[in-house]
Amino acid sequence: MVQSIDSLLNKPVYNAVNINIRKPEVNTPTEDNTVVMDNGIYNAVKINIDKPAVNPIHKKAIYCYPEAHGCVTCDMAGLNSFELPKGFPIAAEYHSASVIVPETEEVKPEVPEPNYTTVEAENKKDTNDSVSVEDKEDKTPSGVTFHGTESTIKKPEIIPSEDIKPDVDISLVVSNLNSSNFDVQAQQMEEIVRKALDDEKQAIPYIVRDVYSQLIDITKKDTSTLATPSTAQIEARKKLIANFLTLEQNPNAKELPFKLTDNEIALANEISPMEQAERNKEYALYTMAVLSKIFIDEVQADTGNVVPFTDIPGVSDTVDALRYNPNPGVKSAAIDALSYIQRPEYKDELTTLYNLAQADNNPIVAKSAERAIAKLNQQ
């Protein structure tokens, strides 16, 4: 701290700030207001000034700092407590003044060495070293020039976000199962079963109410208004079946009962809309059985409990198909579906159902029930 020569004249109080001084040249005003260069050199940095005592200057000078842009005022209350020398100017009375700003030397700012992480940024380093701040937008005081390296900051690459889609598009699955095209329905059910048989975890997303609802609707489809096979189709099929039976009995047979043209064979293989819908009923029953078995296993793995037979998804509709559907093929498919999910805990319920089916008038249904009972008794 610079001590006062005359304590009576050195009473102003300033709210001081941190002043960074780099090799200043201090101008000392004299009696006739001329400037004498003292060439004082200070290596001070961040000088904290708290209530400084400033040496008085001659009466024609004003208070000024090297970085001041105008007249510096002081607390008038502090000046009223002592008598000022005759002719001493009070800073508060000045509205404008020509502040003497010392000459400054070129100051080089301390710029941290940039951290280059790419070859491209390293190449830019040499180019930026020769670029001064004056070449860019000038925001520095007049007469002051900075030369230094401008650090290159690589902006992070922003990758646009993408919609995260689920592994299974359930809305598309439901739409396919609800399609009026029976082949689309069949292909969707085949896809579900194929994934389930390859990896049960892949089938878990399909175990939802909407999928089951569509499968149940397929099993209950009214096919009475759909087109049935034509008479020509039926006749072509009879001939084709007769040829197959002959080959089964005698694979080396040189002559077949019927000689069918390519058109007749194609006609026999065509499936009518009614037949497609009935076929899809069988597919739906088997698809529900595959999903339900996975559901039962997952619940037991998570909770240790076995799902009650009546709580199995779709099981009541499978039982309805077994009891009320007039198509023997659909009834046999229902028996096979129940046999697929059977386990010792369900033995009583399944035995009752199989016994009823074994008494069915259709031999195909009775035979399917007989096989299911034999399989159930093996557990």
Q: In CATH, what number is assigned to the domain containing residue 286?
A: 1.25.10.10
pLDDT score, position 33: 54
State both tokens at 352: 């009752």
Structure confidence at residue 219 as a pLDDT band (50, 70, 90): very high
Q: Does position 93 have pLDDT exceeding 70, yes or no?
A: no
Phi (first) and psi of residue 35, to 5 degrees: -115, 130
Residues 191 and 259 in one domain: no
In a domain, 357, yes or no: yes
Q: Give the range among 76-80, 111-115, 165-169, 336-340 with minimum mean pLDDT.
A: 76-80
The percent of residues in the chain predicted with pLDDT above 90, rounded, is: 52
Instruction: Summarize pLDDT for 139-170 with one digit per residue, the tens.
Output: 555 555 545 555 566 666 777 666 656 678 99
User: Quick one: 41 and 125 in the same domain?
Assistant: no
Residues 194 and 332 in one domain: yes
Angle, vertex CA 290, rays to CA 211 and CA 224, nearest 5: 60
Q: Round to whole Å and give the CA distance between 178 and 213.
A: 10
| Whether residue 263 has pLDDT greater than 70 | yes
Provide mean pLDDT across the span 27-32. 54
- Claim to verify: residue 281 and residue 360 sit in the same structural domain: yes
User: Over the stretch 289-299, which tens digit does the pLDDT of each residue have?
Assistant: 999 999 999 99
Q: What is the pLDDT, as a whole number, of residue 56?
A: 47
> 63 and 182 share a domain?
no
Residues 312 and 243 in one domain: no
Half-sphere exposure of 331 (CA within 13 A, CB side): 23
Listed residues 237, 271, 305: the one ending a domain: 271
Compute the average pLDDT of residues 43-51: 49
* Res 29: pLDDT: 53
The string of pLDDT tens digits covering residues 340-362 is 999 999 999 999 999 999 999 99
Average pLDDT (320-326) is: 95
Q: How many domains does the chain have?
A: 4
In this structure, the answer to whether residues 28 and 44 fall within a common structural domain is yes
Give pTM, 2 decimals.
0.56
* Average pLDDT of the chain to the nearest whole number: 75
Torsion sign, CA atoms 228, 232, 238, 244: negative
pLDDT > 90? residue 235 = yes
Supply the pLDDT for residue 125.
53
* Residue of 315, 310, 323, 317 lying closest to 292 (CA atoms): 315
Report which of 245, 252, 246, 185 is spatially closest to residue 214, judged by C-alpha positions: 185
Arithmetic mean of pLDDT, 96-115: 52
Residue at 195 is within a domain: yes
| Among 217, 242, 271, residue at a domain's last position | 271
Asked whether residue 307 carries a pLDDT value surpassing 90, the answer given is yes
Q: What is the pLDDT of residue 253?
A: 86
Q: Which of 13-22, 102-111, 308-317 has the highest mean pLDDT?
A: 308-317
Across 104-125, average pLDDT: 54
| 15 and 75, same domain (yes or no) | yes
Sort 149 into a burial class: Cβ within 10 Å, 0-12 / 13-18 / 19+: middle
Would you say residue 162 lies in a domain?
no
3-state secondary structure of 73: coil
pLDDT of residue 45: 46
Spell out where the chain has E strands.
Answer: 18-19, 27-29, 35-37, 47-48
Range of the domain at 327: 170-225+272-377
Say if residue 322 is in the same domain as residue 245.
Answer: no
pLDDT of 328 above 50: yes
- Clarify whether residues 78 and 176 are in a common domain: no
Name which of 51-55, 259-263, 375-379 the model is least confident about.
51-55
Please indicate, yes or no, if residue 97 is contained in any of the structural domains. Answer: yes
For residue 255, being part of any structural domain is answered with yes
Residues 89 and 177 in one domain: no
Of 76, 105, 134, which residue sits at a domain end? 105
Looking at the chain, the whole-number percentage of residues with pLDDT higher than 70 is: 57
Q: Which segment of 76-85, 150-159, 281-290, 297-306 scores lowest on mean pLDDT?
A: 76-85
pLDDT of 241: 93
* Same structural domain, 221 and 253: no
Q: Is the confidence at residue 199, as pLDDT, over 50?
A: yes
Domain membership of residue 164 (yes or no) is no
Number of separate helices (H) and strands (E) present in the chain: 13, 4
Mean pLDDT computed over 301-323: 95
Q: Is the pLDDT of residue 52 over 60?
A: no
Higher pLDDT, 330 or 123: 330
Q: Would you say residue 163 lies in a domain?
A: no
Largest interatomic CA distance in the chain? 146
Q: Is residue 295 part of a domain?
A: yes
Is 152 in contact with 121 (CB distance < 8 Å)? yes
